[in-house]
Amino acid sequence: MNETQRARLILKTLNKIYPNIRVPLKSRNVFTLLISVLLSAQCTDVNVNNVTKNIYPKYYRPNHFVKLGRKKIETLIKKIGIFRIKAKSIYNLSKILVNKYDSKVPRTFEELEKLPGVGHKTASVVMSQGFGHPAFPIDTHIHRLAQRWGLTNGKNVIQTESDLKRLFPKKYWNKLHLQIIYYGREFCKARNCYGLSCKICTSCYPSRKKPFIAKKP
């Protein structure tokens, strides 16, 4: 089975298991989506949602966070990992949005990635889930699964993104990256499947006998 055949099998399997998919991070608008994605770095979606459910009913625009100030933001998100660094980014990007973008989140990768604390993966999630622009956000989990499934050689997340975009039609990207995340959490966990037991792994590599060790990004 070559990589194109594996890609078709994976797409078919994921569409069958997850015909409808929901965005795991809860948000009120594109701005709060941006904040939630920023907060999710080195943190679970569940933890982010638990924290933001007490924030977004009252604070959901850039000017709200500017008025709060950095220290108050720290207090609100203190249960999140590296909360001081994230609070600084949230405060500074909120000021930029107010002063430069009329409090609106910019709609291009280039502008998003210039905001404090916003890397390519965060920008990709916002473009995909916030604006519906075709994008393929790659986190460490997708990077690991793409290697297990023989879709990339695993050199780095940039290469993984390029390989997945090449193998899957653009119309599937936005849904597919979420399907892969959900499948990984449920069936192909880092310390459970090891590339040997889930349906996709056994279908793509029926003769694999040893645990597959993914290269870290």
For residue 154, the SS3 value is: coil
* Superfamily holding 30-130: Hypothetical protein; domain 2 (1.10.340.30)
* Per-residue pLDDT at 155: 83
* Per-residue pLDDT at 217: 75
Domain limits of the chain? 3-21+136-204, 30-130
Q: How far is CA 100 from CA 15, 41, 81, 95, 111, in A?
A: 41, 25, 29, 8, 11
60: Cβ contacts below 8 Å, ≥ 6 apart: 28, 29, 31, 32
- All residue ranges of the chain with pLDDT < 70 are none
Strand extents, DSSP E, the chain: none
The CATH fold assigned to 3-21+136-204 is: Endonuclease Iii, domain 2 (1.10.1670)
**pLDDT, tens digit, 9 for 90 and up, residues 18-36:** 999 999 999 999 999 999 9
